[in-house]
Structure 1
Amino acid sequence: MTIKKLQALNNNTAVETVAEAAPASLDAGKAPRIVEAAAPALEEKPARKRGGRSLLLGATALVLIAAGAYYGHDYWTVGRFHISTDDAYVKADNSTIAPKVSGYLAEVLVMDNETVKAGQPLARIDDRDFKAALDQAKADVAAAEAIVNAKQASLDIQQSTIAAARATLDVDRANETFAEQNNKRYSNLATSGYAPVQTAQQAASQIAAAQAAIVRDSASLDAAIKQVDLLNAELAQAKAALARSQAVQHQAELNLSYATITAPVDGTVGNRTLRVGQYVQAGTQLMSVVPTTSAYVIANYKETQLTDVRAGQPVDIEVDMFPGRTYHGHVDSLAPASGQEFALLPPDNATGNFTKVVQRIPVRIVLDGDAAANGDLRPGMSVQPSIDTKNDRS
């Protein structure tokens, strides 16, 4: 009953409103008919709104269910097997360029960010001092070689002296034999009276002279033989001096070659700090050569993420510098220890209060195909690798 009264009240209000708004020229009997026709239309609008809202809610629910099913299926079949992190960076084995000798820079042959090849000259140090040192070393080698040759000649002469001494000794022994034979012969003749006693005595004295000559020449032979040992020692000493001079010459040649600083690997020049006329010390860093074509990725994964990570697993790599582009690689190896083990001051958890912190293990990722060869990835870039562990999960 109350509802009907409210409806009647609403209808009367609508009639009055329309009647007041109608022009005065209209008949009084026509206005109620207009109101009676408009009143049902006002009642139909809330019902239509409720129907449209229900349809929209239903469609939204269906879309949410479909999206949830899609992403749920994707996670269950693919997503849960992909291990990703944003704590990853491109790395390369940079070569630090430092001179091996000290001196003043005469030439700088490369500019910043210039691409170089292995063996290409990068800079030259003034080499006049090194050339002078090499000339001196060559002269020392020549002098040492002359001494060696002289010692070798002396040794050869000594061998001839020994041969002559032996021949002289053979003559002395022959003279001794002849003197003994003469002594025997003249002694018999003197005894029988056919030769004077003086002749027999002379023959006997010749034996003594021959024996003395043998002793003398034997001593000379021994001395000549011992002289060979001395000459051999002097020859060895001369050869050692020659070897030392040759080593000094070789070092001088190396120092001269070190005056030209070359690139050890293919790469790009960076961090160049040298200038012409600058005095550089051996071992001072002058620049770096970055091998951009052999870059790799170091990803610091949480230890809880590495349960199923193995070497050889495929990796998709997204690079912050190239949005929308995906590079491919594979897991090369896992570090033997967490990052804090190699820190300058590793934490000592045996003292004080302990707060457990999830550790991170560096994972080395090698790029596949031409991903590294084209040189797009530069050391230090931030990347987001995602390791596919599906085939290695039990």
Structure 2
Amino acid sequence: MKRKVGIVVVLLLIVIFAILAFRWIKHRIEYAITDAVFVKADELSNVGFQKVSGKVIKLYKNMGDRVSKGEVIAQIDPTDYELNLQNIQAKIESLKAQREQLEIQLKRVSEELVANYSISTLSAGEVEKKRQSLESQLAQVQAQLELAKKDRDRYKNLLEKGVIPKRTYEEAETRYSVLKDQAESIRRSLEELNLSYKKSLEGVKLSRISFLKEKELISQIEALNKEIESLKKQEELVKNYLENTKLTAPFDGIVAKKYVSVGDVVSPGMPVYAIVKPDSMYVDVLLEESKLKGVEKGCKAYIRLDAYPDKVFEGVVEEISPASAATFALVPRDVSAGEFTKVVQRIPVKIRITKGDMSLLRVGMGGEVEIQRKR
């Protein structure tokens, strides 16, 4: 009786073992299973001050803290940049004041010069016309004076011979004297006009010299404008530097690491925080090439992480690398000498998590994955 019971127990154990072995084999056929699993993130960024350097005076976040895009998470001492900005702004205001004074002076000089130049030019033109008229009159009077002189001389000879009365000679003498005085008067007027004409020309010359002064004022204003423009560009640059003394988060995420402490001196590009975007996390699987059969994009996957063995995360195959992980090794294997040892290659497979508590994930976690093969 005992023997029969023993046989039954053995047979039952064999059946149970066979069923378990069948299920295990069937599961291995239907699923590609591996423990080469790593949690990674598409958006894991080392953030730091990109354009400025200095001493860190504030760190607003610690490891594990959540951050929002654009939120200030750290700051370096802005004193030097603030002083530089104040100096530049003071120079700009000083140059603007100088430019304003020059513009007032230019306006006054321009108005005076335009008026003086117009008057001097007009006066010179009028004097020239009068001089030409007097010269014409003088020429006529001199011609008449020549005739009067000849008449006087002729009448004088005739008077001495007793041919004409004395009165006729006196009339010729009087006419000659009048014309002579008239010619002399015209000459004096011409001299006065010539003097006035020279003064008018001198006024025009002085006006032209003053116009050169106006041009010089314009050049000085233009030089100030260029200097002010250059300082404004410097001002914008320093403002940008000043703005960059505050470090902001590039996206919503969680602080994964803090690299510096308050009081540390950082340089441009030096990392201050590492920030990870939780919803960008995925599972990176290094799947043996012998298990790749039936694994395609869209295949369902089940992930168990070592940190949470009782929790199952669901996902889907998003990418399958076209090359093995060894292809990108820093020191690739050298098989040129003919020495070769067969090594199973691993193919990177990216799995996007579709179901599970993403807040539990941490970059670098390991575990096990089962990928359901397509038939």
Settle same-fold status: TM greater than 0.5.
yes
Is the Cα–Cα contact under 8 Å of residues 123 and 261 in structure 1 kept in the other structure? yes
- Which of 208, 224, 228 is the matching residue for 2:211? 224
Question: Which residue of 1 is the match for residue 265 of structure 2?
Answer: 280
- CA pair 316-161 structure 1, distance change in 2 beyond 3 A: farther
- CA pair 189-217 structure 1, distance change in 2 beyond 3 A: same
Question: Which residue of 2 is the match for residue 94 of structure 1?
Answer: 44
Is the Cα–Cα contact under 8 Å of residues 313 and 330 in structure 1 kept in the other structure? yes
* Structure 1 unmatched runs, 5+: 1-47
- CA pair 138-59 structure 1, distance change in 2 beyond 3 A: same
- Which of 353, 357, 371 is the matching residue for 1:367? 353
C-alpha separation between the residues in 1 aligned to 2:318 and 2:139? 109
* Pairing 1:142-221 to 2, within 5 Å after superposition: 142-153=93-104, 155-157=106-108, 159-160=110-111, 163-164=114-115, 166-167=117-118, 168-193=120-145, 196-201=182-187, 206=193, 210=197, 213=200, 217=204, 220-221=207-208
Question: Which residue of 1 is the match for residue 283 of structure 2?
Answer: 297
C-alpha separation between the residues in 2 aligned to 1:52 and 1:369? 49
* Pairing 1:70-149 to 2, within 5 Å after superposition: 79=30, 82-92=31-41, 93-99=43-49, 101-149=52-100
- CA pair 102-57 structure 1, distance change in 2 beyond 3 A: closer
* Pairing 1:322-333 to 2, within 5 Å after superposition: 322-333=308-319
Question: Which residue of 1 is the match for residue 360 of structure 2?
Answer: 376
Q: Which amino acid aligns with 1:380?
A: G
C-alpha separation between the residues in 2 aligned to 1:117 and 1:188? 104
- CA pair 365-145 structure 1, distance change in 2 beyond 3 A: farther
* Pairing 1:250-269 to 2, within 5 Å after superposition: 250-269=236-255
Shift of 1:91: 1.5
C-alpha separation between the residues in 2 aligned to 1:339 and 1:111? 34
C-alpha separation between the residues in 1 aligned to 2:69 and 2:185? 97
C-alpha separation between the residues in 2 aligned to 1:236 and 1:55? 111
Q: Which amino acid aligns with 1:282?
A: S
Question: Which residue of 2 is the match for residue 244 of structure 1?
Answer: 230
C-alpha separation between the residues in 1 aligned to 2:220 and 2:373? 74
C-alpha separation between the residues in 1 aligned to 2:225 and 2:142? 65
Greater per-residue strand proportion: 2
Q: Secondary structure at the match of 1:365?
A: strand
C-alpha separation between the residues in 2 aligned to 1:287 and 1:383? 27
- CA pair 192-309 structure 1, distance change in 2 beyond 3 A: farther
C-alpha separation between the residues in 1 aligned to 2:326 and 2:265? 36
Shift of 1:238: 1.9
Is the Cα–Cα contact under 8 Å of residues 190 and 200 in structure 1 kept in the other structure? no
Q: Which amino acid aligns with 2:231?
A: S
* TM-score, normalised via structure 2 length: 0.68
C-alpha separation between the residues in 1 aligned to 2:185 and 2:131? 12
Q: Secondary structure at the match of 1:249?
A: helix
Q: Which amino acid aligns with 1:188?
A: Q
Q: Deviations over 1:240-283 (max 9, x none)?
A: 3223323333344444444444444333334435444x241324
* Structure 2 unmatched runs, 5+: 146-178
- CA pair 61-288 structure 1, distance change in 2 beyond 3 A: closer
- CA pair 112-58 structure 1, distance change in 2 beyond 3 A: closer
Identity %: 23
C-alpha separation between the residues in 2 aligned to 1:389 and 1:158? 92
Q: Secondary structure at the match of 1:87?
A: strand
Question: Which residue of 1 is the match for residue 173 of structure 2?
Answer: none
Shift of 1:143: 1.9
Q: Secondary structure at the match of 2:316?
A: strand
Aligned residues: 336
Q: Secondary structure at the match of 1:318?
A: strand
Is the Cα–Cα contact under 8 Å of residues 270 and 290 in structure 1 kept in the other structure? yes
- Output the aligned Cα RMSD: 4.2
Is the Cα–Cα contact under 8 Å of residues 328 and 371 in structure 1 kept in the other structure? no
C-alpha separation between the residues in 2 aligned to 1:310 and 1:162? 89
C-alpha separation between the residues in 2 aligned to 1:89 and 1:150? 72
Q: Deviations over 1:316-364 (max 9, x none)?
A: 3322222232223334445575444544344454456344544444333
Q: Deviations over 1:28-47 (max 9, x none)?
A: xxxxxxxxxxxxxxxxxxxx
Higher mean C-alpha deviation, range 235-244 or range 209-218: 209-218
Is the Cα–Cα contact under 8 Å of residues 117 and 203 in structure 2 kept in the other structure? no
C-alpha separation between the residues in 2 aligned to 1:192 and 1:214? 33
